[in-house]
Amino acid sequence: MRNMRGVTFLLLAWISMPQNVWAQSSLADATTTPSSATGDGQFQQWLQNNGLTQGQSATAAPSVAFNTNNSSAISGQSSVVSKNPRLPLTYEQSQQVMLNAAPPSQIPPQPDATAAFDTMLQKNMPLTPQQVVQLRQEIDAAQRAASIPATIPPKPVSTTLIINLAPGTTPPAIRLAQGYVSSLVFVDSTGSPWPIAAFDIGNPKNVNIQWDGKSNVMLMQAVAPYMAGNMVIRLAGLPTPVTLELVSGQRVVDYRVDIHVSGLGPNTKDLPIGTALPESANQLLLNVLDGVAPSGSKALMVKGGDCQAWLLGDTMYLRTRLTVLSPGWVGKMMSPDGMQAYEMQKAASVLVSRYGEPIELKIEGF
């Protein structure tokens, strides 16, 4: 009987317990760590020992729903988390996260703190983000306008010149342009490189020249947009200097100039027996070497190899990288890149050498 009275007393005391205390304990149990899980097991054991079940205890102490509106007590970061955890945070959300991550101030806020902060912002960053973007766009437009040349850019060309060292002749002109590099390549009558020994320029402040001191190639570019002058080049073994006129600001700029000097240079290969150099420069053959058809000529069809042919009267002109073996040619010119121009009598068949192997070219269209 005393046992029954004790159980009844404990049950009445448990039922009369305030609901807020039970709610707090339930919330603590819901957020308990694994170490506190044993307390819940002891409570269930106590219920069984006193003849109570979990359902009976539920009627005595109704469950209290969690208040989901108390998220502010946890962390301010939860308010900026993306609804879809797979999507990254936006720029504004990431900024808010960093603000929430800042430690709280231990000093109470001063009345003038906000005004001082606004003054510092206005002093150091007076422009709005939109004004900063607009300013950068204006700077970009100004830089783009500054890069546009005031005039139409010059037309680049590659030319071939024949130097006449006779007294009284006019020296050829090299057309330069500011910001463009021109290369001068000196070769002899056979197309072999003719090394440069020395040079001198009339106005060195207006022209920038680069030369390695031993080759036959010289690089130059105009420093001033408009200039005129000349330069003198001495070739190895040639007693007469080569004079060139330099001009800039023209509508055409010489990217590469092959300068043919009459005579044999120090790098000339042995010529075949019976081969003679032309006594004077052949301007017509020079045009063929540049790929320009002779005036009034007729284009011919060539089969069997890479070759161009023209017929002018009874004379045939060939432009090819192959070496002509037969028939014998009257005139020949060669450029530094290996291109050759031949002048010969018209023939329906030409024997040439390609990498040491003789092949036959068929000429049609006479």
133-170 in b/e form (b: 16+ CB < 10 A) is eeeeeeeeeeeeeeeeeeeeebeeeebbbbbeeeeeee
The answer, yes or no, to whether residue 70 has pLDDT greater than 50, is no
CA distance 133 to 136: 5
Residue 73 has pLDDT above 70, yes or no: no
Position 51 scores a pLDDT of 58
Predicted confidence (pLDDT) per residue in 204-228, tens digit? 899 999 999 999 999 999 999 999 9
CB 338 within 8 A of CB 269: no
Arithmetic mean of pLDDT, 188-203: 89
The overall pTM is greater than 0.85:
no
Residue 13 DSSP one-character state: H
| Range with top average pLDDT, 99-113, 138-152, 352-366 | 138-152
Give the mean pLDDT of the chain. 78
Percent of the chain with pLDDT over 70: 73
pLDDT per residue as tens digits for the range 270-303 = 555 445 555 445 778 888 888 888 888 899 999 9
pLDDT value of residue 27: 39
Contact assessment for residue 324 and residue 341, using Cβ atoms and an 8 Å cutoff: no
How confident is the model over 178-199, as a mean pLDDT? Answer: 91
SS3 309: strand
Tell me what pLDDT residue 314 has: 87
Please tell me the distance from the alpha carbon of residue 264 to that of residue 271, in angstroms, as a whole number: 10
Q: Once rounded to an integer, what is the mean pLDDT over residues 98-115?
A: 81
Q: What is the pLDDT of residue 76?
A: 42
The CATH class of 155-261 is mainly beta
In whole angstroms, give the CA distance from residue 280 to residue 164. Answer: 9
Buried residues in 258-291 as b, exposed as e (16+ CB within 10 A): bbbbbbbbeebeeeeeeeeeeeebbebbbbbbee
Looking at the chain, the domain(s) classified CATH 2.60.40 span 155-261
Name, of 74-83, 86-95, 125-134, 327-336, the range with top average pLDDT.
125-134
Higher per-residue confidence, 57 vs 217: 217
